Structure 1
Amino acid sequence: MLIIFSALAAIIPMTIYLILIWRFDKYDREPFGMVLANYLWGAVGAIFLALVGSIFLTTIISFFVKDDKSLGLVGAVAVAPFVEEITKGIFLLITVGSRKFDNITDGIVYGGAIGLGFGMTENFLYFVGNADNLGSWIAIIIIRTLFSAVMHCVSTATLGAFLGYSKFMSKGKRILFTLIGLAIAMFIHAGWNSSVSFQSTAPLGFLFLFITVLIFITVFVVSVARERKIIFNELSEEAANGIIPSTHLSILSSSVRELQGWVPESIRKDYIKSATTLAFRKMQARNSNGGSKIYYENDIDNYRRFISFLLSGTKA
C-alpha cells in the first residue's frame, strides 16, 4: 500500500502540472505525444543517467572530501545541479531539432515537461524512502510537490526557453545561449538545494523559489502573448491577399476563436489549426535557410491551398 500511495502522490500532481503547462500554450499548442515523450525522458532516462553520473562524480570527490556530511553537502549543492540539469537537458537538444519547436514557449513547455517527469520519479523515491512517520511523510509530499518538483520544472524550462530563443540564430549564438540557459538552470537548482540544506536558510530558499517561479510565469505569459502577435502579423498578409477574410484576423489571433458561430463548426478546428500553422511556417521560413527554408515554403503553399479549400464551402 505504501508503494501505491507514494506512486499516486508522485504521479497525480505532476500530471496535473503537465496538462496545465501544455494547455496554457493556447495559440500554438505542441503535439501532446511529443510533450509526453519529454516527460517520460525526465521520469526514466534522465533519472537513470543522473544516478550513474552522480555516483561517478561523488566517488571521485570522496577521495578529496572525507567527511560524510561535507560530501553530502557537495553532492546536493554541486553534483546534483550539474549532473541532473545536463541529463534532463540532453533530450531537449533532440527535441529542439523538430520543425515544430520554434520559439520560447515551445522550449518552456518541453523543458517543463522533462522537469516534471524528473520530479515525479524523484518524489516517488523520496516518498517511499521516508515513510516511517505519517506526519513527516505528508510533510515531505507537500514540500516536494509544491517546491522541489516545481524547481525541476522551472530549471529545465529555463534551458528550453533559451533553446527556443536561439533556434534560428547562428551556430555560435545557439551554443552560447544554450550554455547560458544551462548555467542559469544549474544556478536555480543549486540555489534551492543549498538554501534548504540548512534550517536557518530554508526560508530564503522558499523566497528564492517563489521569486523564480514568478519570473518563470511572467516569461511564459509574455511568450504566449508574443505567439498571439505572430499569428496576427503573419496572417495580416493573408487577409490582404484574400486567403482569409479580414474579419477573421482578430478572431484567429485571440481566444474568441474557441467560440462557435463565427465560422461553420464543421471546419472551425481545422481552420484554426491550419491558419495558426501557416502563420508560424511563415515566421520559420523567414528565419531559416537551406533545406529547412524550402520545407517551410512548400508547407506555406500547402496550407494556403487547404485554407482556401476549407473556406470555399462557406462562400455563397
Structure 2
Amino acid sequence: RRMRWLMAAVGLGILVICALITLILNSFIGINALTQNGASSLLAALTIPLIPALGTLLLVNFIDRFEREPWYLRLATFLWGMVIAIPTAFFIERFIDSVIMNLLEPGASTILRSALQGLNAGFTEETVKGLGLLLLFLVLRDQFDNITDGIVYSAMIGAGFALVENFSYFASGYRNSLVFLIIYRVVLGWLGHPTFTACFGSMLGYTRHTRSRWQQVITPLLGYIMAVMLHSFFDFVDIQAGAAVQADPGNTHVAMLALVAIICDYIPPFIAQMLLLYLLIRSLAQEAAIIREFLASEVSNGVVTVDEYALLQHSFQRTRQERKALWQYGFKHWLRVKALYQAEIGLAFRKWHVSMGDGQKNGYLRQPEDVYRERIRRLRQEIRAVEEQARAKERRT
C-alpha cells in the first residue's frame, strides 16, 4: 500500500510539473500571437484545434463497442499526450536538433538536414507518446485487453498531443497561412498523431492474443519502428517542401511541386489507417467471439440471462437497449443498465485473460470472477426493482 501511495505521489508530481511547463510555454506563444496578430489569432488558436480533438473523441466512442474503457483511463491517456508528452518531446527535440546542426557542415545537403530533423521528430515524439502506452500496459494490464484497446488509448494520446501542437501552429501562423493550416492540420491531418501512435498501440494490444514469447517482444517492436518511420517520413517531406519554397520564394513551379508533395504526404498515413481499420474490425469480431465463448457457462449457471447473452454479442442492439432504458426510466437507470452489461462483458474478458495465461490474484479473498458475478446479481436486482416500481406506478395511474 505504501508503494502504491508513493507511485501515485510521484506520478502526480510529474503531472503537475509538466502541466506547469506546458502552461508556461503555451502562454508565451499565446501572448506573442496576441501582441503580433491580435485577439483573433489567439481565439483561432484556442478553438480550431478543438475540432480534431473532439472528432477523435467521437471516433473513439464509436469504435470502443464491446469492452468499453473507463473514462478516467481515456482522460489519463489524453492528459499524457497533452501535458506530459509535449514538454518532454519539446526539450528533447530542441537538444537533438542543436546537436545535429553542430555536427552538420554549413554546406551540408538540405535533404540530409531535413531527413535528420524528420527522424528527430518521429523518434522523439513516438517514443514519448509510446512510453505512456507501455506504462499503461504494464501497470494496468487488466485494462489493456487487445488491439481495440491499443488503438483507443493511442488515439487519445495522439489527440492530446495534437491539440497542444496545433495551438502553437495556429497561434504563430494565423496571419500568413490560416487556410493552409486548416486544410493541412484539420481537414487532412486530424488523425495524424493518433495514426502514428496507433501503429505501436495496436501491436502492443496484439500481444494479449498470443502466448508466444518472441511475438510478445517482436510485434510491439515492429509497431514502434513503423510508427517512428511513418512519422519521420511525414515530417521529412513537410520540412523539405518548406525548405524548397524558402530557398526560392518567387518560383511558382517549386511552390506547386511543394504543394503536391505535401498533399501526397498523406498517402502513407492513409494506408496505415486502412490497415488499422482492418485490424480493428478483426479485433471487434474477436471481442464478440470472446463474449460468446466465455459467457456460455454463465448462462447455464444463471449469472447471465439468455436475452442478455444474445444482446451482448451485438453492440448496436445493446446500445439501442441502453437508450431505451434512458428514455423510459431516466439517467440513473441508464447508468445501471450500462454497468450491468459492462460487468458481464468484463467477466467474459477476465475468464479469457485466465485462459491466455494470466494467473489468479494472489492475496485476494475473492477472485475478480466472483466479484464480477456478485456485481451482476446486485445490479440486476436494482434494475428489476426500479422497473417493477415503474410498472406498479403505471397500474395505479
Q: Could you say which TM-score interval applies, normalised by the shorter chain?
A: 0.7 to 0.9
Matched with 2:356 is: 287
Deviates more, 1:294-303 or 1:223-232: 294-303
**What secondary structure, in the 3-state scheme, does the structure 1 residue paired with 2:42 have?**
helix
Contact residue 40 and residue 114 of structure 1 kept, 8 A: yes
* CA distance in structure 2 between the partners assigned to 1:310 and 1:118 by the alignment: 38
* CA distance in structure 2 between the partners assigned to 1:296 and 1:25 by the alignment: 32
Specify which of 261, 283, 289 is matched with residue 201 of structure 1.
261
- Residue 162 in structure 1 maps to residue 203 in structure 2: yes
Matched with 2:154 is: 111
* CA distance in structure 2 between the partners assigned to 1:268 and 1:100 by the alignment: 21
- 1:71 is displaced (CA, Å) by 6.6
* CA distance in structure 2 between the partners assigned to 1:300 and 1:203 by the alignment: 51
Taking structure 1 as reference, are residues 297 and 183 closer, same or farther at Cα in structure 2, changes over 3 Å only? farther
Q: Deviations over 1:228-276 (max 9, x none)?
A: 2211221112123332223332211112223349999655323212111
Specify which of 78, 83, 108 is matched with residue 44 of structure 1.
83
- 1:61 is displaced (CA, Å) by 1.7
Specify which of 187, 212, 216 is matched with residue 229 of structure 2.
187
* CA distance in structure 2 between the partners assigned to 1:233 and 1:179 by the alignment: 31
**What secondary structure, in the 3-state scheme, does the structure 2 residue paired with 1:132 have?**
helix
Q: Deviations over 1:146-205 (max 9, x none)?
A: 334422111111211111111474665433222111101012212322334332533432
Matched with 2:344 is: 275
Taking structure 1 as reference, are residues 46 and 16 closer, same or farther at Cα in structure 2, changes over 3 Å only? same
Rg larger for: 2
Give the letter for the 2:319 counterpart. Answer: E
Taking structure 1 as reference, are residues 188 and 307 closer, same or farther at Cα in structure 2, changes over 3 Å only? same
Counterparts in 2 of 1:80-229, with a 5 A limit?
Answer: 80-97=121-138, 98=140, 99-133=142-176, 136-167=177-208, 169=211, 173-196=215-238, 197-198=240-241, 199=258, 201-229=261-289
* CA distance in structure 1 between the partners assigned to 2:87 and 2:296 by the alignment: 48
List alignment gaps of at least 5 residues for structure 1. Answer: none
* CA distance in structure 2 between the partners assigned to 1:296 and 1:128 by the alignment: 55
Give the letter for the 2:175 counterpart. Answer: D
Contact residue 112 and residue 154 of structure 1 kept, 8 A: yes
Give the letter for the 1:74 counterpart. Answer: A
Taking structure 1 as reference, are residues 138 and 165 closer, same or farther at Cα in structure 2, changes over 3 Å only? same
List alignment gaps of at least 5 residues for structure 2. Answer: 1-38, 242-257, 389-397
Taking structure 1 as reference, are residues 10 and 71 closer, same or farther at Cα in structure 2, changes over 3 Å only? farther
Matched with 1:11 is: 50
Matched with 2:375 is: 306
* CA distance in structure 2 between the partners assigned to 1:238 and 1:75 by the alignment: 56
Specify which of 255, 258, 283 is matched with residue 319 of structure 2.
258
- 1:290 is displaced (CA, Å) by 4.1
Give the letter for the 1:159 counterpart. Answer: F
- 1:89 is displaced (CA, Å) by 0.8
Taking structure 1 as reference, are residues 289 and 153 closer, same or farther at Cα in structure 2, changes over 3 Å only? closer
Give the letter for the 1:161 counterpart. Answer: S
* CA distance in structure 1 between the partners assigned to 2:262 and 2:296 by the alignment: 51
Taking structure 1 as reference, are residues 79 and 24 closer, same or farther at Cα in structure 2, changes over 3 Å only? same
Give the letter for the 1:259 counterpart. Answer: R
Deviates more, 1:262-271 or 1:180-189: 262-271
* CA distance in structure 2 between the partners assigned to 1:117 and 1:260 by the alignment: 32
Contact residue 52 and residue 190 of structure 2 kept, 8 A: no
**What secondary structure, in the 3-state scheme, does the structure 1 residue paired with 2:167 have?**
helix
- 1:73 is displaced (CA, Å) by 0.6
- 1:295 is displaced (CA, Å) by 6.3
Give the letter for the 1:7 counterpart. Answer: L
Contact residue 158 and residue 193 of structure 2 kept, 8 A: yes
**What secondary structure, in the 3-state scheme, does the structure 1 residue paired with 2:302 have?**
coil
**What secondary structure, in the 3-state scheme, does the structure 2 residue paired with 1:166 have?**
helix
Contact residue 119 and residue 233 of structure 2 kept, 8 A: no
Give the letter for the 2:60 counterpart. Answer: I
Matched with 2:35 is: none
Contact residue 285 and residue 297 of structure 1 kept, 8 A: no
Q: Deviations over 1:191-222 (max 9, x none)?
A: 32233433253343222222222222222232
- 1:298 is displaced (CA, Å) by 0.8
Give the letter for the 2:305 counterpart. Answer: P
- 1:84 is displaced (CA, Å) by 0.7
Give the letter for the 1:240 counterpart. Answer: S
Specify which of 40, 59, 68 is matched with residue 20 of structure 1.
59
